[in-house]
Copies of this chain bind each other. A is one copy, B any other.
Amino acid sequence: MNPIKVGLLGIGTVGSGTFNVLKRNQEEIRRRAGRSIEIAVVADLNTERARELTNGEVEIVNDANLVVTRPDIDIVVELIGGYGIARELVLKAIENGKHVVTANKALLAVHGNEIFEAARRKGVIVAFEAAVAGGIPIIKALREGLTANRIQWIAGIINGTTNFILSEMRDKGLDFDTVLKEAQQLGYAEADPTFDIEGVDAAHKVTLMSAIAFGMPVQFDKAHVEGITKLAATDIKYAEELGYRIKLLGITRRRDDGVELRVHPTLVPATRLIANVEGAMNAVLVQGDAVGATLYYGKGAGAEPTASAVIADLVDVTRLHTADPNHRVPHLAFQPDELSNVPVLPIEEINSAYYLRMRVADETGVLAEITRILAEGGISIDAMLQKESREGEPQTDIIILTHVTREKHVNAAIAKIESLPTVLSAVTRLRMEELN
C-alpha cells in the first residue's frame, strides 16, 4: 500500500523530533499502522535549517499554504503554535479535506469549538494528543479508556517548567526568582516564561481535558488562571511541615451546578503519588465513578516525548481514517450534537480547603479572635501551626488549614481577619486538595 503522506508545518524542536522518530522507527510504525507514514513536505520560514534538520531528504517549502492545499497530502501536522497563522492554516487544511494533527493547546483551548465544527462538516479528524501532557496518552485515556465513567474530577501537573521550579524551590529552599534563572539556564524555562509561570499553558491544557471529560465545549475564557510567581519559599516550607507539597495543578471538577476549571498552586498531601512527581515530569490524576482514581505519568515536553504523541495520532488517523465519520472517536469524546453547555463556575464559587498564613502579634486572645471569625463564616479548622516567636520578637506566624468550604466565605473571613489590629500582615491564602 502507498505510504500515507504527511505535510509538516513548522520544524522546530517537536518537528525535528517527529521527523527523527518517524525515520528511526519507520519499520515498527509501519507494522503497527498497516501503512508507511511519510513526511512528504515540510513548510518552514527558515528553509535552510529545515533542510539541515531533515538531512535534505524531504521537500522544503517556505509557504505553509502550499502544504495545506496540496492534493497528495493526507494529513497536515501543525507545529507552528499560537493562535494566529496556525488557526488559519488548520482551517484551510480542513477545508481542503486534510486530517490534522496538532500539538497546539493554545489554539484548541481558544478556537477549538470552531475548528472541531469545521472538521465535522468536512468529515476529517483533528487529533491533538500532543497538546496535553506531551508523551502521556491522556487524551486517549479520557476519550476512550474511561468512557464508562461519570468523570468527577481531574487534577494534573501539566506544566513541566513550573513543576521543575517548585521541586527546586522545595529541595533547595530557594526563592522563585533564583530558581527561575537556574531553570532558564538549564533550558527548563524559556526566555519568556510568562505562559508557563503564570499558569496559562496549564490552563489551556486543563480546558481541553475538561471539555473531554464532561462533554462540553472548550471554555478557556472562563478558566481561573493563577501561576507560581507569587509563591514564597516560606509557604513551601510550612506546607512541608504540615505534611503537604505545593504543586501547580490544573483542576477541573464536575458539580451539580456546573464545572470548576482552575489552575493555581495547590497543597497536596505528601503521601499521594502525584505529590511525588518531581522535576519536569507531568502527571494527571482522574477520578471516575466506576474506576476510582487512575494516574498517568510521564514526560510532558521535549522533542521526542511530544513527537511520540504526534506520531501516535498519525497512526490513529492511518488506521481509522477510512471509517465513516459518524463511527470514529468524537473529537471531544462525546458526539458533537451531545455536548452540553455546562456552566463554568466563577472562582468565588469553588469548593476547596485552604491554607492561611498570617503574621500576628504574640498576644493573648489573637487566636481566639481569628478562630471566632472563621467559625462565624462557617469555616471549620482542620489543623493549625503556630510558630514559636523568636527570642524577644513580639510577632509570630500562624498557619491554619481549613476543611472544604466555599471560596467566597474564605475571602470574606480573610477580609475580617486582616482588619484585626493584632494581625500584622496580609493573609497568604493557598488552596489545598486532598485528591481522594
Contacts and interface: CB of A to CB of B under 8 A. Distances in A.
B299 A297 contact: no
Interface string A305-325: 101111110011001111110
B297 A298 contact: no
A299 B316 CA distance: 27
Contacts of A347: none
A312 B145 contact: yes
Given A25-B149, A308-B149, A328 B324 contact: no
Nearest to A322: B327
A147 B29 contact: yes
Contacts of A129: 145
A282 B334 CA distance: 28
Task: Count copies of this chain in the complex.
Answer: 2
Contact of A315 (B29, B30, B34, B144): B144
A136 B315 contact: no
Nearest to A136: B294
Interface stretch (A67-75, A231-239, A283-291): A283-291
Contacts of A148: 21-22, 25, 29, 307-312, 315
A420 interface: no
A296 interface: yes
A320 B316 contact: no
A335 interface: yes
A12 interface: no
A415 interface: no
A146 B34 CA distance: 15
B294 A135 contact: yes
17 contacts: A21-B149, A21-B289, A22-B148, A32-B338, A34-B326, A34-B330, A135-B288, A135-B291, A135-B294, A137-B144, A140-B140, A146-B312, A147-B311, A148-B311, A291-B299, A296-B297, A320-B323
Interface of A: 17, 21-22, 24-25, 28-34, 129, 134-137, 140-141, 144-150, 215, 273, 276-277, 288-299, 304-305, 307-312, 315-316, 319-324, 326-330, 333-335, 338
